[in-house]
Chains A and B, each alone.
Chain A
Amino acid sequence: MKLLQTIGSILVILSILIFIGMLGLGTKSINLDALPGNNTHQTAAISQAINELDAKGKEVNHIGFVSLASEVIDKANEIQEAKFQQSGAPDGVGEWDFRFGGNVGGFKQKLSSTAKATGPVQSNPWLFFFLTFGLAIIGGLLFIIPKFAKSPGIKHDGIYHSSLTSGLKLTPRTIVLAAGIIGTLIYGFVKLNNFFWPLVTTVIGVLFIYFVFIKEKSKGKDPQRSASPVNTAWLGMLAGALLVGFYILLYWKPEYIQNWVSMVDPISEMLNGGKASRWFLYGLLYTIIMAVMGIRMLAKYQHNKYQRVRTYSVMFFQTAFAFLIPQMISKLNATNAYDNPIPAPDLKNMWPLDYSFFFNYRLDEMVANGSIGIFMLVWGIVLFVIGVPVFVYFYGKRWYCSWVCGCGGLAETMGDPWRQLSDKSLRAWQFERYIIHGVMVAAVLMTIGVLYTYFTGSYSILGINTDSLKSWYGFFIGAGFAGIVGTGFYPLMGNRTWCRFGCPLAGYLGLIQKFKSKFRITTNGGQCISCGNCSTYCEMGIDVRSYAQKGQDIVRSSCVGCGVCSAVCPRGVLRLENGSGDVATRTIEERTIHITEDMIYVKQDFS
Chain B
Amino acid sequence: MDFRLSEDHQLLSNSLRRFLADNYDIEARNTRAFEAPYHMKEIWSGLAELGVLGAFVSEERGGFGGSAPDVAVIFEELGRSLCTEPVLGTLMGLRLLAAFGREQEVRSLIAGETRTALAVYEPNSACDISFMEAVARQDGDAWRLSGRKSAVYGAPGAGPILVAAKTDAGIGLFLIEKPDLIAAAMTDGGGVADIVLEDVVAECISTDAGAELEDALDLGRIALCAEAVGGMTMLLEMTVDYLKQRKQFGQSLATFQALQHRVVDMQLELEQCRSIVIAAVAGHGGADQSRTASMAKNLIGRAGLAIAEEAIQLHGGIGMTWELPAAHYAKRLVMIDHQLGDRNDHALRLMAIDKQQAEFRARHQ
Tell whether A and B belong to one assembly: no
Which residues of A are at the interface with B, using a C-beta cutoff of 8 A? Answer: none
Which residues of B are at the interface with A, using a C-beta cutoff of 8 A? Answer: none
